Structure 1
Amino acid sequence: MSGTITPAPSAPVPWEELVTTALLGTDRRPAGASGGPAGLLDAAALHTVRRRAGLLPAAPAARPEPAPADPRPALPPAARRRLAQLLADRSAAGGPAGRRGTAPDLTELIPQWLATANRHGFRAPASLLPALLDAARARTDLRPQALAFAGPRGLWLAGLNPEWKFALRGSSGGSSLPDPTEPESVARLWEEGLFAERIALLAAVRAHDPAEALVLLATTWSTERAEDRLMFLDSLRTGLSPVDEAFLEQALSDRSRNVRSTAAELLSALPESALAGRMASRALSCVSPDLTGDGATVVVEAPHECDASMEHDGVVTVPPSGRGERSWWLGQLVEATPLATWPARFSGRTPREIVGLPVADDWAEELHAAWCRATVRQRDPEWARALLGTPSVPPSNGPGTASLAERSKLLGILPPAERAGWVAGFIAAHGLSEAFQILGVCPTPWAEPLGRAVVDALDIARDAGSYPWSFSGVMGLAERCLNPAEADRLEVLTTTPDEPEDASPGANGYWSEAFQRLVSTLRLRAAMDSELIPA
């Protein structure tokens, strides 16, 4: 036996030191042993083998529960093939904007296909659920219809893939909600559930018994986070009634400004609430008729201060940049005042007559804008008609507001047929350049007068030699919203007429392609609808 002593192996260099050396370089930070870069790599390899050798086998995870049953009927075979085609085309999409050619854009037809399938109550094919969830992940506009179509199996599958976790937000997370008539189960989930489950539970109880939903919310209200209180309060918009007033009055004293503001907004949507009465009293002291001249006029005296009681009722003290304080306060008071207050204030005049009165001292724009917001909040069709005025009148000279965004909100209050008729008259008078935004509030498929007005305006723009690409948005909207039955009537527009001398080069070729694509898309939509008709 030799007397030579074998030196003990040196302690391994910690992994963190090896990483630091790799980042800084072996010249600046030696790895604890000689050998430079090669020695560093050897030490890293040895460390990796040592770590792997010391790993213990992971405990097997529990198998997921089987997917829940979906009792809805299966898709007809042709519709199933069509869905596979639409989802495959979505995956292959991604070309540049400004699409040319005559082929329909299948990706833009997915929302309508899903809406029709849901209307007929079909269930999604299991094999297409991954592609459907991928499509919904990429496009938020698809999510409501896609998740409704995916059903309980879609939520079950989403719970197994982190990339689809969006599907669990705002739902019960794939779990079944207790029956609202089972108080013990409801209370347990409300106390122990995830936020998404609690939101879904509150909505379910609210639909069953609004008063019971308030009782449930009150049990934990004081301990909820501010952002959660805001979401729970916002859910009271559904089924809002005088029963909610006492709870909302308490929320006016909430420590969160956003919660206070939302509570005030909801109370002002209840014309008989005490807050609406307080706001009306303040507004009446600011807006009054002047009958001293030859005709009635509206006199405005905006508030000179925002006192503590106004703040308590939701009036925001500090205006946005560029707004005057007094006009900002006035707008909030009028916006929260019940619209029924004004006919009595103006000697029984109708909303149309009140809106038509001259307003002194350049307060008309501010006052009418506030009346528009009040109309949208209170969903009053008569005031909406008065503030919209006649569609042939230019927006800048209209009785309400020149903002097309505000006009879109007012139009949303009118019955669908009346809404479409007003927009058709607007397009006939002013063309399409300002109509895109208000077209979005019209129900689809467009009623015949509206569809004809849009197509006629497009045809007029083509004949006038207008720059065609500026109408691509309206043309795309027409592809999705025109009645498919219009395809044959529009066939005549697919020809390429002679190009006017002052037209943009190649404009008529673009117009011809666009109308051909419109006709082919309408025919494809008709085929898709027929495939989804239950046998």
Structure 2
Amino acid sequence: MSGVEQWLGDVATAALVGSARREPPPIPAALGVVTDDEGHAPEHRLLASAALADAVTRGGAGLQAAGGPTHDAPPETREACSEAAAQLVHLLLLQPPVSMATRDELVVEWLRLAEAAGQRAPFAVLPALLEFAAPRPSVARALGGVIGERGAWLVGLNAAWSATLDADRTAPVGSGGGDDWTVQWSTMATAEATAAFAAGRRTSPAAARALLEAEWDTVSAKVRGEAVVALRHGISAADEPLLERALDDRAKTVREAAAGVLSLLPASDRADRMAARLRGLVRVRGTLSRHLEVEVPDPPDDAAVRDGMTPPAKGGGPPPTVWLAQVVRGAPLSTWTEITGRSVAATLKMVRDKDVLASLVEAVLDRRDAAWALACVEHGVPDPRLVWLLPQEKRTDLLVSWVARPPAGRDLGRLLVEVPRPWPDELSRVVLGRLRGEGATTSLARAAAPLLPVALSPSLAPAVTALLEQVPADATHLRRALTETLQLHAFRTSLTEAFR
């Protein structure tokens, strides 16, 4: 929060409680206003500060040296939001009734409701809204047309705003708007070219691939490498010839990027080559207790180096171990079940080497394979990234069971942070159940408490109220979170009603 922003809030607070209870704050030097407050009563100084605060919030931009004439803002095309909606966003920006993190989410929610209603923010709140959004990308992206023509005009007058808000509010180069980015791509600066290709790849994968093929020899190694990485989005067999070409690129970074992206194509020629290498290293051993014995590979020959088997970076572990990890991550997951002739779950139980299992987990994450992820989770692999590869219903069932009976090695606090909000009701209820009595002071309570205001559905307000009555007085962190949850639910109800 800037000094001016803090001052605006302090003036509003002093006006609310009265100058007899709160001394009017001094005007910040950043405004460049010379005052003579000596001998003036607090109420007079407060009125002067309120007048200045009104001018600052309406102006939105500092005075500039005289130059060319400033064009007027275009006429508005949207109706302003209701008075009730205006009061709510003003409250959020200047006197938020919730925590700072929760305030960001509520401002975004206000903007989305206004956008859905086809309405704009009132003129008086625009400077505060733009100042708030500038350092917060999630808020800036939600501005859309809610700031109206005058808001866009103000952004153009303030360099500090336009540097960030223009980038976040407008579509990225290559997203389909404006000039054809492909015409200028080969002459763009590196940062602009990589961003344009990434955006173009998402909207038209085939066109982006064709452009990279045509301009391969004209763009820099940096751009080639970043463009190859961007091929991950919408990857298909049609990309394989270009990626095979990239394996022979003169730049190491491009070759390594191509090997990584080819790992996402389990039916590619490179995948077949890595599968053949893996089969030569894995043996099924044991009679009563069948298990897998995995050897480390020999130093890679030229063909293996081309496929991405490269020496480890400094401090990256023994070369044979690193080469084995590269083979495991490069071979299709189906290679393992083909070797064992068993199911995925049964195959995992046969893997005894911890390093091999760790590499296998990375391969599962690379390919986002839900069946293998579920088998890994049920096998007891604690990596939380696997949980987010599971179907939502299965993921919720697992989280509910883990919260009810915490398993060893699971960081439930970290998992709850990652759960999309609002939480499913069944998960919310089991979390609230664990917070009763002695559960109010557990590590789970400390981790869950900050999440409750934005994670719990308003339909659970009765359960939250009941829990608040049971929480011990010394569990202040939880009592504060539950109180804020109820306040937030009431505020959200007011938001929805304001845009009806």
What is the TM-score of this pair, normalised by structure 1? Answer: 0.69
Which residues in structure 2 correspond to 1:507-522 (within 5 Å)?
507-522=474-489
The letter for the 1-side match of 2:491 is L
| Counterpart position of 1:528 | 495
Please point out which of 88, 100, 125 is paired with 2:121.
Answer: 125
Q: How far does residue 386 in structure 1 lie from its aligned partner after superposition?
A: 0.1
User: 1:84 and 2:90 equivalent?
Assistant: yes
Give 1:310 shift. Answer: 2.9
The corresponding residue for 2:355 is: 366
Report the Cα distance in structure 2 between the residues aligned to 1:206 and 1:152, rounded to whole angstroms.
31
Query: Which structure has the bigger radius of gyration?
Result: 1
Deviation at 1:210, TM superposition (A): 2.0
- Give the equivalent residue in structure 1 for 2:377: 388
Q: Distance in 1 between matches of 2:337 and 2:407?
A: 35
* Higher deviation after alignment, 451-460 or 186-195: 186-195
The answer on whether the counterparts of 1:372 and 1:400 sit within 8 Å (CA) in structure 2 is: no
Secondary structure at 2:419's aligned position in 1? coil
Shift of 1:427: 1.4
**Match for residue 451 of structure 1?**
428
TM-superposed CA distance for 1:60, in Å, is 5.4
- Give me the identity figure in percent: 26
Does the C-alpha gap of structure 1 residues 179 and 479 become closer, same or farther in structure 2, counting only changes over 3 Å? Answer: closer
| Cα RMSD (Å) | 3.8
* Native 8 Å contact 1:317 1:329 kept in 2: yes
Larger CA deviation: 163-172 vs 326-335: 163-172
Q: Provide the rounded CA distance (Å) in 2 between the counterparts of 1:110 and 1:514.
A: 17
Structure 2 residue matching 1:240: 3-state secondary structure: coil
CA distance in 1, matches of 2:77, 2:148: 10
Structure 1: gaps of 5 or more residues: 1-57, 91-102, 390-398, 500-505
Q: Tell me whether 275-284 or 470-479 shows the greater mean CA deviation.
A: 470-479
SS state at 2:467 partner: helix
Q: Given residue 527 of structure 1, which amino acid in structure 2 is its aligned partner?
A: S
Q: Say which of 346, 358, 362 aligns to 1:353.
A: 346
Q: Secondary structure at the match of 1:315?
A: coil
Task: Tell me what 2:164 maps to.
Answer: 166
Q: 2:208 aligns with which of 213, 217, 234?
A: 213
Aligned partners of 1:353 and 1:370: how far apart in 2? 18
Cα distance in 2 between the residues matched to 1:479 and 1:278? 52
1-side partners of 2:429 and 2:302: how far apart? 55
Partner of 1:282: 277
Residue 331 of structure 1: how far off its partner (Å) = 1.7
Cα distance change, pair 458–62 in 1 and its aligned pair in 2 (3 A): same
Superposed CA offset, 1:90-132 (max 9, x none):
7xxxxxxxxxxxx632542423552574486456537455444
Q: For residue 474 of structure 1, what is the amino acid of its counterpart?
A: A
Amino acid at match of 1:345: I
Residues 495, 512 of structure 1: 8 Å contact kept: no
Does residue 1:401 correspond to 2:377, yes or no?
A: no
**Structure 1 residues 117, 147: closer, same or farther in 2, change over 3 A?**
closer
SS in 2 for 1:299: strand
Q: How does 1:149-160 map to 2 (within 5 A)?
A: 158=155, 160=157
The yes-or-no answer on 1:488 pairing with 2:462 is: yes
Distance 1:231 1:64 in 2: 41
- Aligned partners of 2:258 and 2:78: how far apart in 1? 40
Report the Cα offset of residue 162 of structure 1.
3.6
Aligned: 1:442 with 2:419? yes
Q: Which moved further from structure 2: 262-271 or 323-332? A: 323-332
Q: How many residues align?
A: 431
Q: Which amino acid aligns with 1:134?
A: E
1:510 deviates by 4.6
Q: Determine if the alignment matches structure 1 residue 342 to structure 2 residue 342.
A: no
Structure scoring higher RCO (CA < 8 A, sep ≥ 6) equals 1
CA distance in 2, matches of 1:72, 1:285: 68
For residue 438 of structure 1, what is the amino acid of its counterpart? L
Q: Indicate if the aligned counterparts of 1:169 and 1:196 stay in contact, CA closer than 8 A.
A: no
Q: 1:301 aligns with which of 265, 282, 295?
A: 295
SS across alignment from 1:262 = helix
Which secondary structure state, in structure 1, belongs to the residue aligned with residue 312 of structure 2? coil
- With over 3 angstroms needed to count, the CA separation of the structure-2 counterparts of 1:308 and 1:63, relative to structure 1, is farther
Cα distance in 1 for residues equivalent to 2:130 and 2:150: 11
Over 3 Å counting, the alpha-carbon distance change for 1:301 and 1:150 in structure 2 is farther
Residues 384, 457 of structure 1: alpha-carbon distance in 2 compared, 3 angstrom cutoff: same
Is contact 1:315–1:329 with CA below 8 Å preserved after alignment? yes
For structure 2, the 5+ residue unaligned runs are 1-64
- 2:120, 2:148 within 8 Å by CA — same for their partners in 1? yes
Q: Is contact 1:496–1:508 with CA below 8 Å preserved after alignment?
A: no
